[in-house]
Amino acid sequence: MENDLYNLNRSVLTHINNIRNRIDFEYTFECTIGFSDYFEQFDNLLETILNSENEMDFEDVKVVLTNDEFNKISKEYKIDKSIHKDCTICMEVLCENESVNILPCGHYYHKECIKTWLCNENVKCPICRSDTRGIK
């Protein structure tokens, strides 16, 4: 996250310098107003924002499925023989004749376990992290 923020800061500052150079070049003979004052104020404001980002509390936004979206992507399947695997959400063994739901990625879970996960926590498969909405 820190590296992404650093790259964003560099990108913003590069664009500001490019804009400043273009404006200085294009308006040198047309304007008598000093743009440098405006850019200095803008630079100061931007620097204040970028330096104070560590003090801001960025809260993660949960992206979850609605019940209708869950019903569209989830396929229910009855286990016909013991597969000796655990539901990685509740850690219980998936037993013979038990209903499980299979996600588009092929991983399977107890229906209530995966519904709770996808509708309350995250739209991604808990094992492979693939987006269940089909978005890559």
Separation of alpha carbons 9 and 49, rounded Å: 10
In a structure prediction context, what are the per-residue pLDDT tens digits for the chain, which is 136 residues long?
A: 566 666 666 776 676 666 666 655 445 544 555 556 667 777 777 777 776 655 555 557 788 999 998 888 878 888 777 666 788 999 988 888 888 888 888 888 999 999 999 999 999 999 999 998 876 5
- What does the block give as tokens for 103? 């996600």
SS3 readout for the chain: CHHHHHHHHHHHHHHHHHHHHHHHHHCCCCCCCCHHHHHHHHHHHHHHHHHHHHHCCCCCCCCCCCHHHHHHHCEEEECCCCCCCECCCCCCECCCCCEEEECCCCCEEEHHHHHHHHHHCCCECCCCCCECCCCC
The tally of CA atoms less than 13 A away on the side-chain side of residue 40 is 4
Separation of alpha carbons 48 and 20, rounded Å: 19
What's the pTM value of the predicted model, to 2 decimals?
0.54
